[in-house]
Amino acid sequence: MKWACLLLCYPNHNLTFQNLKLPNHVHHCIQLPISSTQFIILSKIHPTFPLPSFSLSSFSLNFSSSSNRHHLHFPLFSIKIIMAAAAAVTAAVSLPSSKSSSLPTRTSVVFPERISFTKRFLYTKNVCVGGEVVSIKAQVTTEAPAKVVKESKKNEEGVVVNKFKPKNPYTGMCLLNTKITGDDAPGETWHMVFSTEGEVPYREGQSIGVIPDGIDKNGKPHKLRLYSIASSALGDFGDSKTVSLCVKRLVYTNEQGEIVKGVCSNFLCDLKPGSEVKITGPVGKEMLMPVDPNATIIMLGTGTGIAPFRSFLWKIFFEKHEDYKFNGLAWLFLGVPTSSSLLYKEEFEKMKEKAPENFRLDFAVSREQTNEKGEKMYIQTRMAQYAEELWELLKKDNTFVYMCGLKGMEKGIDDIMVSLAERDGIVWADYKKQLKKAEQWNVEVY
């Protein structure tokens, strides 16, 4: 007769044994993976030994032989399984022999608290033990795992999402619409303020949708376009009753030589004060500010990607809040093609004058500036000048990077980080995944 002892470990957890002592009758110790659940099988005990036992410091097994059935009893006080709030585990092991077909052994581990259970699948595996095939079957019943609520590092408490949807948008009014790029800039960018009367409760880092007037070529209403909010939650007027956007007018020539105008961007840039605008949202939690007032916030923006960072910086440097006073470092990198394309330059310079110890400001003007090698000054080129300092900041758990703008910027920034990480023997792609998981690397590109 052969018998097997089956112990169950939960996925992603460990069963810890210390000072394992096996009797001489145990000939084999096999570890067998089955699907995502792991089983440890101790097999082939001499059949004439009726009551073998062994201990694992704080764990013991006692089993008796009666025909082909075996019962394993695990004393409550001696069990140490690393998992959260488990209530019970039940497994069935089938041990066929060449002479008889036995009923499955049932092995139970019972914990003090009884909690509701969820049935799992029946696992089957044939194993070669001592030259014989043993069929292992296990139907696992376990407590549904308790949901672990991850505490966010961002200011998510009370955040409202999708209060207004496309079928029932909020109708606001344009209060202000001003071009904020110079006449010689490659393209127009406008700053606009809409009234919300406090009905669109957004947070810094969120976006709103805009549904332009008119119908598309199929005779249907235009689809909404999302825009990052460029104002703090208090709004440009400080009364929590407005929302601001930073929008570049999209105009380009297609392959046929035809001039194409972006539907929503041109609708917005052409708005006159007093005009109505249909608003949806707010949406998004990816770009929310960190809760920690002592955090280092590194902001990487190109063009209108400056919008969420203006909202951050207004809250940090232009407003007073009873529950928030920034004592960390805010570092803004802004990349644009020409000096006349620099957005909100005067505002940011005032912030720097007001809090020189807490705010650093670096512009990258690609068509006018070069580095020491004569290369065009893109945002990643400017960052490379501070590579060592940035890398040291990225190693800290209170540094948060936010990236917003055109998709192309992400690759350029990754290229810098790859070489920096390699110096410390770190694979940047893996490290960036860790940063994202920790909410310290946040990207919104378009």
Residues annotated as catalytic (active site), given as ranges: 227-228, 404, 444, 446
The residue type of 330 is: A
Reduced to 3 states, what is the DSSP secondary structure of residue 239? coil
CB-facing half-sphere around the CA of 142: CA atoms within 13 A: 19
Is 406 annotated to bind a ligand? Reply is yes
**Strand, helix or coil for residue 294:** coil
Structure tokens at 358: 């807490």
Instruction: Say if residue 337 carries a ligand binding annotation.
Output: yes
Q: Tell me: is residue 374 an annotated ligand-binding position.
A: no
Annotated binding-site residue? 381 = no
Tell whether 336 is in a known binding site. Answer: yes
122 is known to lie in a ligand binding site: no
Does residue 366 have a known ligand-binding role?
yes
Q: Is 408 annotated as a binding residue?
A: no
CA atoms within 13 A on the CB side of 157: 4
* Gap between the Cα atoms of 273 and 380, Å rounded: 38
Which among 180, 269, 287 has a CA at the least distance from the CA of 229? 287
Ligand-binding site membership of 304 (annotated): yes
Residue 55 DSSP class = E
Q: For residue 51, give every residue at least 6 positions away whose Cβ sits within 8 Å of its Cβ, in sequence order, or none.
A: 62, 63, 64, 65
User: Cα separation of 323 and 318, whole Å?
Assistant: 15
- C-beta of residue 36 within 8 angstroms of C-beta of residue 11: yes
Written as one letter, the residue type at 367 is: R
User: Beta-carbon neighbour count of residue 432 at 10 Å?
Assistant: 19
Q: How far apart are CA 276 and CA 258, in angstroms?
A: 30
Rounded Cα distance between 350 and 103, Å, is 82
Bind-site residues for NADP(+): 228, 248, 304, 336-337, 366-367, 376, 405-406, 444
Q: Which residues are annotated as a binding site?
A: 228, 248, 304, 336-337, 366-367, 376, 405-406, 444
